[in-house]
């Protein structure tokens, strides 16, 4: 879905770009993101995979976690995310789970691939049948696992997220 | 890619199931995961999205982050992940970035959909062209973003991850 881009969109994207550029020399990966709510930036980060030793520490995941902490909620549906590069599948998944409804990005998965990142490969792997992936991905249909969902359905105090 | 399932595979998957079942009554989501290295479980968790208010706190992401912290590395290529349900695209992305080479899971994205989770919807959204998604997903081709990748390529001390 596309809508008109505004001057604010351009301004907030530039902030994410600035964060990425400033971060490289301190050991950050070449990606940045900011989250905006009600016209203000509420979280911003560069990629910190190497700095933190956490493979999930992409800029988008970090700004989502920071914004959720600030808003005391896993629901970020009132927020917009700006990213210097098209979010990878991990980050796009995080965006959907957070309820964010608008993403603006600059470079894309092919630009990232050209400098050695696996974003495009992972997009391709996710789209195919699990049994066809490069990863060993095995379905073990243990009936005990069905008990989890039955218990969940019966649990009166559950909060569906 | 498929290989033979072992008794250890069945045993470790049961541990993930046990964690998910025990977690429901303390407010956890109905999913669990463990990570195994050299034949031993090094991290285990249930889903903590509601408990922590963090939309990225899926069981798989939490065990990856915990294992990375323990091993002091974002590289988990010596590890195997066991999950009570097929990892969602966010978690599958995290698995690829961590280098984990084998995943064993029980329920699948359709079982999760049947109890109200969006895993299958997100798989479908990720596979289509960004402009066609339900989410507003806009490409703003800002030339300033290209500077990030140029700087990265020129940066002598970079660690490719």
Could A74 and B55 be called an inter-chain contact, meaning their C-beta atoms sit closer than 8 Å? Answer: yes
Could B32 and A122 be called an inter-chain contact, meaning their C-beta atoms sit closer than 8 Å? Answer: no
| B126 token code pair | 């990720």
Give chain A's length: 161
Q: Name the pLDDT band for B110 (thresholds 50, 70, 90).
A: very high
- Paired with A50 in beta bridges are none
Q: Which of B53, B75, B142 sits opposite A13 (nearest CB)?
A: B142
B96-105 confidence digits (pLDDT tens): 999 999 999 9
Q: Reading across the β-sheet that carries B136-139, which strands appear in turn? A: A40-47, A29-37, A79-85, A102-107, B136-139
Q: Residue A131's pLDDT is what?
A: 85
Beta-carbon contacts below 8 Å between A and B: 310
Q: Which residue matches tokens 């995310």?
A: A81
Catalytic residue among B15, B60, B113, B156: B60
Distance from B24 to chain A by nearest Cα, in Å? 7
The CA distance from A109 to A125, in Å, is: 14
Q: Which residue matches tokens 């630009």?
A: A111
Could A21 and B96 be called an inter-chain contact, meaning their C-beta atoms sit closer than 8 Å? Answer: no
Q: Which of B29, B73, B86 sits opposite A53 (nearest CB)?
A: B73
Ranges of residues in chain A with a pLDDT under 70 are 1-2
| B2 token code pair | 């498929």
Distance from B40 to chain A by nearest Cα, in Å? 19
Q: Name the pLDDT band for B130 (thresholds 50, 70, 90).
A: confident
Distance from B37 to chain A by nearest Cα, in Å? 16
- Paired with B82 in beta bridges are B34, B104
Active-site positions of A?
A: 60
The CA distance from B125 to B38, in Å, is: 36
A37-59 confidence digits (pLDDT tens): 999 999 999 999 999 999 999 99
Nearest chain A residue to B118 by CA: give it: A97
Between B13 and B130, the more confident residue is B13
Q: Residue B131's pLDDT is what?
A: 85
Q: Name the pLDDT band for B3 (thresholds 50, 70, 90).
A: confident
Could A74 and B142 be called an inter-chain contact, meaning their C-beta atoms sit closer than 8 Å? Answer: no
Of the listed ranges A95-99, A129-133, B64-68, B79-83, the least confidently predicted one is: A129-133
The residue of A57, A83, A90, A110 whose CB has the most chain B CBs within 10 angstroms, and thus the best one to mutate to test that interface, is A90
Q: Name the pLDDT band for B1 (thresholds 50, 70, 90).
A: low
**Among A132, A113, A129, CA closest to A121:** A113
The CA distance from A51 to A32, in Å, is: 14
The CA distance from B120 to B124, in Å, is: 6
For residues B54-70, average pLDDT: 98
Pairing mode, if any, of strands A102-107 and A79-85?
parallel
Q: Residue B2's pLDDT is what?
A: 61
pTM for this structure?
Answer: 0.96
Write the secondary structure of chain A as one string of H (helix), E (strand) and C (coil): CCCCCCHHHHHHHHHHHHHHHHHHCCCCEEEEEEEEECCEEEEEEEECHHHHCCCCCCHHHHHHHHHHHHHCCCCCCCEEEEEEECCCHHHHHHHHHHCCCEEEEEECHHHHHHCCCCHHHHHHHHHCCHHHCCCEEEECCCCHHHHHHHHHHHCCCCCCC
Q: Which residue matches tokens 């997903």?
A: B137
B18-61 confidence digits (pLDDT tens): 999 999 989 999 999 999 999 999 999 999 999 999 999 999 99
What is residue B67's DSSP assignment?
H
């Amino acid at each position: 879905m596309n809508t008109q881009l505004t001057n604010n969109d351009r301004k907030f994207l530039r902030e994410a770009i600035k964060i990425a550029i400033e971060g490289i020399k301190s050991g950050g990966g070449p990606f940045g993101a900011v989250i905006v709510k009600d016209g203000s930036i509420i979280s911003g980060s560069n990629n910190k995979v190497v700095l933190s030793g956490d493979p999930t520490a992409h800029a988008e995941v970090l700004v989502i976690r920071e914004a959720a902490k600030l808003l005391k909620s896993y629901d970020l549906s009132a927020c917009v995310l700006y990213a210097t590069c098209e979010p990878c599948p991990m980050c796009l998944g995080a965006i959907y789970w957070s309820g964010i409804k608008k993403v603006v990005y600059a470079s894309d998965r092919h630009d990232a691939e050209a400098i050695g990142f696996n974003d495009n490969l992972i997009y391709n792997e996710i789209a195919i049948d699990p049994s066809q992936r490069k990863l060993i991905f095995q379905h073990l249909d243990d009936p005990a696992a069905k008990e989890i969902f039955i218990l969940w359905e019966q649990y009166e105090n559950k909060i569906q997220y």
